[in-house]
Structure 1
Amino acid sequence: MTAVSDQSAAPAPPSQPEHVATPAPRTFGTVVRGYVALTKPRIIELLLITTVPAMFMAAHGLPPLFTAVATLVGGTLAAGSANVLNCYIDRDIDQLMSRTSRRPLPQGLISPRSALTFGLVLGAVAALLLWFTTNPLATALSIGANLYYVLIYTLLLKRRTAQNTFWGGICGAAPVLIGWAAVTGTLSWSAWAFFAIVFFWQMPHFWALAMKFKKDYAAAGVPMLPVVAKPMRVAVEIVAYSWLMVAASIALWVVGMSWIYGLVAVALGGWFLIDAHRLFVQVSRGERIRPMRLFHLSITYLTVLSVAITVDALI
């Protein structure tokens, strides 16, 4: 924060943000929905979208049903645990952002202590379930990803560096490795290529979102790249990581997929690159920026690519 240059001016008293939502009535139903919301189900959906095709790839077809179900349930609980703990740690800044002010902790629907307990219990159950139903490698990867997300990303990096999204991308892409390891007990070049796709995907995905909610992140003191860098630099990095993502998708084709996946990967990659460059042109020309178009496209990209991987593995 910048210092006040006029020493005679009294600091303004802190005020309640205008966007703070009115707390919902505390009933059994709202509390249950609050606990579910703490796990961030929509983020978990994206994680599962990459776990499933990784298991199909690893099995060269249908993975063992028991292993698949156990991995998905354990992965859901593990991701839910990490998200709950993230909400617990970030409860102070969530109340400052319009996008997050309606979450259960800023609303006072669930107490911080209850959220912390809930997150730790979910994490413990996830670890035990994966340990007894999959194998040590999958379990270790899951525990490591959660610890990295909570301790390294959320506590150490998120509020200190504009490259927080880059470093956070490691745990965001970890479900690919967990799914693969759960089936095979090992990791291969195909697993790492798929990991690279999801890793590089996260930069254009999250930076597009951060461009839209730049004022929110600035108000909360979170140095997301669009907050601390000029729009042109953000646009350049989005284009660069989009190219790396597409290159990784081609690498996956080379190391183990058929022409079915290859055609989809090339077509999807071309579509994504066109839109990433469109955003760059909007910024360079000083036109109105529409980053949410790329954000929504990124979700479609990852979903369709994951379906293509699954179909390819089956055929």
Structure 2
Amino acid sequence: MALVDKHVFDEPGFHVSEATPADYFALLKPRVMSLVIFTAFVGMVTAPVALNPFQVVIAVLAIAVGAGASGALNMWYDADIDRVMSRTAGRPVATGRIQPGEALVFGIVLSAFSVVTLGLLANWLSAALLAFTIFFYAVVYTMWLKRSTPQNIVIGGAAGAFPPIIGWAAATGSVAIEPLIMFLIIFLWTPPHFWALALFKSDDYGRVGVPMMPNVAGHASTRRQIFAYTAVVALVGILPWVIGQASIVYGVVAALLGLGFVRSAWKVLRMADDDVVMRPAKALFAYSLLYLFAIFAALLVDSGVARLVGALGA
């Protein structure tokens, strides 16, 4: 249970909004949004259908707005703990620059706008998936899992893994094994990514009572689980080549990226319990971001080359 009083925002001084456009942009969690946009775009353009450029732009924007809405709702609900944690203390709701009620309304309006737009201009399957993703992140993860179980990231990671499926569905009106594998890559990538962060931010999570794995199971157990998940995601990253979605070139790139991921996780596994600097954990966190971007970039390039070769041979 969080150790922070949510009613702190009823104090004098938190009633006058000082929000700027930059604050509202920050409310959308733009760094998280950028990964959502990219993975959704890859899911869309790797689908084996002819794409209308206007449809692509609208669908990606709608998915981006939906991701931003999720971020706004997350900051609204988590404002009490955000203002205590060093990593999140500068967020606009935590500092009082945006009032909690403003963030809530902003998130709800953006959620409805993004889902309706995607439904009308793409299809209602992709819109339903987007609505479910927003609900899962804002309600299932933020309001329930995050403060109740150390498996919060494992289960909650599904929310961040849906964008490729939404993108594929927006392009095709259906779901297939290819986007499900992309989902699986992100889903399995999420625990080592966030647990690496939790290792060197465990004091933050401890202060606010969020049961992240290092605080509940200890650092040694967390490091073992990080290595296990990393080994699995490195193997799953090769599956697009195995099922014929991508070429051997992608397979080689994915294997090399996976080996780098496992190598970084191995250094975390071998890290001393009293390592206060946490350099291996910080390096793994940074590499995990590179891995996810690079594996999806490789899929995107491989798909583009395959389509070009097919067009030239037609």
Cα distance in 2 for residues equivalent to 1:285 and 1:260: 41
SS at match of 2:150: coil
User: Corresponding residue for 2:61?
Assistant: 73
- Using structure 1 for the length normalisation, give the TM-score: 0.88
Does 2:291 correspond to 1:301? yes
SS at match of 1:114: helix
Please state how far the C-alpha of 1:49 moved relative to its aligned partner: 2.0
- Could you tell me whether the CA contact under 8 Å between 1:181 and 1:187 is conserved in 2? yes
Cα distance in 2 for residues equivalent to 1:288 and 1:213: 11
Please give the per-residue CA displacement for 1:241-282, whole angstroms capped at 9, x wherever unaligned: 111111211222111211121111011001111111111011
- Could you tell me whether the CA contact under 8 Å between 1:162 and 1:225 is conserved in 2? yes
- Could you tell me whether the CA contact under 8 Å between 2:70 and 2:111 is conserved in 1? yes
Percent of aligned pairs sharing the same letter = 37
Does 2:263 correspond to 1:274? yes
SS at match of 1:58: coil
User: Corresponding residue for 1:91?
Assistant: 79
Q: Which amino acid aligns with 1:296?
A: A
Superposition map of 1:1-315 within 5 A: 31-59=20-48, 63-255=51-243, 256-283=245-272, 289-290=278-279, 291-315=281-305
- Could you tell me whether the CA contact under 8 Å between 2:205 and 2:215 is conserved in 1? yes
Please give the per-residue CA displacement for 1:141-183, whole angstroms capped at 9, x wherever unaligned: 0000111111111111110000000011111100011011111
- Could you tell me whether the CA contact under 8 Å between 1:71 and 1:179 is conserved in 2? yes
- Using structure 2 for the length normalisation, give the TM-score: 0.88
- Could you tell me whether the CA contact under 8 Å between 1:148 and 1:171 is conserved in 2? yes
Please report the RMSD computed on the Cα atoms of aligned residues, expressed in angstroms.
Answer: 2.0
Question: Which consecutive unaligned segments of at least 5 residues does structure 2 have?
Answer: 6-13, 306-314
- Could you tell me whether the CA contact under 8 Å between 1:282 and 1:288 is conserved in 2? no
Cα distance in 2 for residues equivalent to 1:219 and 1:287: 18
- Could you tell me whether the CA contact under 8 Å between 2:63 and 2:130 is conserved in 1? yes
Please state how far the C-alpha of 1:288 moved relative to its aligned partner: 5.3
SS at match of 2:271: helix
User: For this pair of structures, how many residues does the alignment match?
Assistant: 292
Please state how far the C-alpha of 1:287 moved relative to its aligned partner: 8.3
- Could you tell me whether the CA contact under 8 Å between 1:209 and 1:292 is conserved in 2? yes
Q: 1:293 to 1:197 in 2, by over 3 A?
A: same
- Could you tell me whether the CA contact under 8 Å between 2:66 and 2:110 is conserved in 1? yes
